[in-house]
Structures are given as C-alpha cells and as structure tokens.
Structure 1
Amino acid sequence: MRRHPVGYRYAYAMFDLAEQQGTLVETLEDLEVVSQVFEDTNLLDEGFRHPNITDTQKKNILTEAFSEKVSTHVLHLLLLLIENKRIDVLHPIVDNYKQLANQAQGIAEATVQSAKPLSEQEQETIAGVFAIRAGKRKLNITNIVDKEIIGGLKVQIGDTVYDGSVSNQLARIKTRMIHGNVSR
C-alpha cells in the first residue's frame, strides 16, 4: 500500500499518540468504524460536499454521531479534518494508520489466491507458514478465489509474491519447452 502524502501525516500523528497511550488496536478499531460509517452512508460525497452545509454543522453531525462510539482522539481528528478542509483524506488516513499499527505489532496483510475458497484451518496453516517466511508475528489473510490458477496458491505479502499455482508451473514448463531448456 502506498503512503498518501497528506493522509500519512495525520495517520502518523494518530499512531504516535496511540502508541504513547497503548491504544493502537482500539484506535484502529475506532478509525475503521468511522471509515465504514462514511462508506455506508456516503456522507462524504452526499453530505459534506453540499455547499449549504457549514463547517460548524459538519462538526455537530460528527460529534453527535461519534461522541459515544469512538475515542476522543479519533473524534478530535475528525473535527480537525473538517477545520483543515481535509475530511476527504479520511480513508487514506485509516489505511496508512492500519499499516503503521500492523507494522508495530509484527502483523502483515496477505492476499492468498486459490482455485477454491480456503477453510479457516487452511488459512491459519498458510498464515503460520508464511508469517515465518515474511518475518512477521502474524498474517491477516484475505482469500481471493481465482479459478484461472487451476490449483495451488499464490500468496502476496507486501511486494513479495510466492506463486505456487498450477497455472504458473504450466507457464514455466511452456517457456522451457519453447526455449529448449527442459532440464529443469
């Protein structure tokens, strides 16, 4: 995931504060709740972009909606984003914060492509094996079903891809046969 130039600064400030207070996980959960509400209600596009809604009204909406649902720090971030006319970078802030919090906890995000949906046990096994390879304490796996890989797995952790899919093996065999290098 790429760093958003503005969103990363806000995310890092939230991360620094949460790390000092020992609330990395709670802050991430709060940010994800806010992000999900914004996504579900389409508040950014339909509500906050309307020219007749003032910043004070936006702040009141956010305070009323989130004052009892999220920490005061997350609420203050939202109000600051309204003041600075930066509420549109909320999603990049959440993504960048998640990346920082996961890195601090030794957690990585992994995408696993398979020909069929993986069971919970299969995901746990894959997470255990590839967490060691990636040098992480834990992997959060997102399983994507892609029937074109025929069988096997394709695991992506950050920029590293482990491709053990049947389609990749067939492509390598084909390349070797075309180039006349069948000894491998």
Structure 2
Amino acid sequence: MSRSAAAQRYAEALYDVAKAHGEEAVIEQDLREVKKVLEANPEFFEMFASPKLDTQDKQKIIRELFAGANGHVLNMLLLVTEKKRTDEVPDIADEFIRLSYENRGIAEATVYSTRFLTESEAAAISESFSRKVGKQALRIENVVDPSLIGGLRVQIGNRIYDSSVSSKLESLQRQLIGRSTKL
C-alpha cells in the first residue's frame, strides 16, 4: 500500500513524540483502535469531507468519539482534521506501526495453516523465522487455509516459505509430468 508523504510525516512526528515520552506501545494500540473505528464506519470520512460541518464541529465530534485515547493521538486527530487530511488517518496509523516494528526489530508475517495455531506454535514459528529474516520477532497473522492439506506457508514481506503438503504435491506432479513427456 502506498502512503502519502504527508501520512509518513505525521506518523514520524507522532512516533518521535511517542518515543520521547515512552508511550510507543500505548499510542500504537490507540492507533489500531482508531483505525478499526474508521474502517468500520466509512460514513465517518464522508461526514468529515462534507463542507456542511465546520472544523470546530468536526473537532468537537473527534474529542467526544476518541475521549479515551492517548492525548498525543487525540492531538494528531485534531490536527489532521484542521488540515483537512482526515482521510490519511489509516495510513498514518499503518506507518506509525511500521516505524514501531522497525525500531523494535519486529516483522509482520502471515502464516497460512490448515487450522488455527496455538500460542506455543505461533511462538515457535516466530522464533524460527525471525532469525531467517534478521528480526528479533514476528507479529503473526494466522490465516486458516484448508487447501494446504497440511504444513505451513509463511509470508514475511515479499518472501514466502512454503512447506505445505499441497505445494509438495504440485511439485511432485510437475516432476512426474516432466518425466512422462520425455519417455
């Protein structure tokens, strides 16, 4: 997903403030919640794009809606509203999380399996694959895919590690078909 330069600047500024106050984890969690709220309510963006509401009214709504959020997150939301960049908030959240992960040596991974992983299985996968990509840990999103038949497929960035039964069967099929055409 491409992010605008403005979203990157807002995220970097917010991350600098969070780091200075030792609040990276709290702000990251609040940004995840803000993003969930915004994604679940697309009409929110429509309302904020409307010229019928002035900036002060929009900021009042934000203060009420996100009253429990960290003060720095709330200030960022008020600022982007004033600058008419409310539509950038999800990208700001994503960029903040990326910066946070980068600074903590964490990579995001998607693990495809035939069933949900247990916590110990996810921890073992994180430990094993984080070393392969030079990170300290992985934040794993587990996706259940019964078509794998067995095994795992792990995607970290643009790298894919596939030890699924279905991929091994496909490989075997290609080998067998290749041999039969040579006979």
For 1:63 and 1:117, how far apart are their aligned partners in 2?
38
Moved more, 127-136 or 148-157: 127-136
Instruction: Classify the secondary structure of the residue corresponding to 1:155.
Output: strand
Instruction: Classify the secondary structure of the residue corresponding to 1:172.
Output: helix
Q: Which amino acid aligns with 2:32?
A: E
Which residue pairs with 1:84 in the alignment?
A: 83
1:117-176 residue CA offsets vs partner (Å, 9 max, x unmatched)? 222222122122112222222211111111111111000111111111111111222222
Q: 1:2: how far off? A: 4.4
Q: For the Cα contact (< 8 Å) 1:44–1:88, is it kept in 2?
A: no
Q: For the Cα contact (< 8 Å) 2:15–2:96, is it kept in 1?
A: yes
Which residue pairs with 1:130 in the alignment?
A: 129
Which residue pairs with 1:176 in the alignment?
A: 175
TM-score, normalised on structure 1?
0.88
Q: Which amino acid aligns with 2:26?
A: E
| Identical columns (%) | 38
1:72-124 residue CA offsets vs partner (Å, 9 max, x unmatched)? 22111111111111000111110111011011011111100012222222212
Q: For the Cα contact (< 8 Å) 2:7–2:89, is it kept in 1?
A: yes
For 2:18 and 2:38, how far apart are their aligned partners in 1?
22
For 2:80 and 2:43, how far apart are their aligned partners in 1?
14
Q: 1:38: how far off? A: 2.5
Which residue pairs with 1:106 in the alignment?
A: 105
Which residue pairs with 1:21 in the alignment?
A: 21
Instruction: Classify the secondary structure of the residue corresponding to 1:70.
Output: coil
Q: Which amino acid aligns with 2:39?
A: E
For 1:21 and 1:43, how far apart are their aligned partners in 2?
34
Q: How does 1:158-169 map to 2 (within 5 A)?
A: 158-169=157-168
Q: Which amino acid aligns with 2:87?
A: D
Moved more, 31-40 or 113-122: 31-40
Moved more, 128-137 or 94-103: 128-137
TM-score, normalised on structure 2?
0.88
Q: Which amino acid aligns with 2:49?
A: R
Instruction: Classify the secondary structure of the residue corresponding to 1:53.
Output: coil
Residue ranges of structure 1 left out of the alignment (5+ in a row)? none
Q: For the Cα contact (< 8 Å) 2:45–2:86, is it kept in 1?
A: no
Moved more, 155-164 or 21-30: 21-30
Q: How does 1:21-60 map to 2 (within 5 A)?
A: 21-42=21-42, 44-60=44-60
Q: 1:41: how far off? A: 4.1
Query: Are the structure 2 counterparts of residues 175 and 2 from structure 1 closer, same or farther at C-alpha, using a change threshold of 3 Å?
Result: farther
For 1:150 and 1:4, how far apart are their aligned partners in 2?
40
Which residue pairs with 2:94 in the alignment?
A: 95
Q: How does 1:140-155 map to 2 (within 5 A)?
A: 140-155=139-154
For 2:40 and 2:174, how far apart are their aligned partners in 1?
47
Residue ranges of structure 2 left out of the alignment (5+ in a row)? none
Query: Are the structure 2 counterparts of residues 117 and 71 from structure 1 closer, same or farther at C-alpha, using a change threshold of 3 Å?
Result: closer
For 1:64 and 1:110, how far apart are their aligned partners in 2?
35
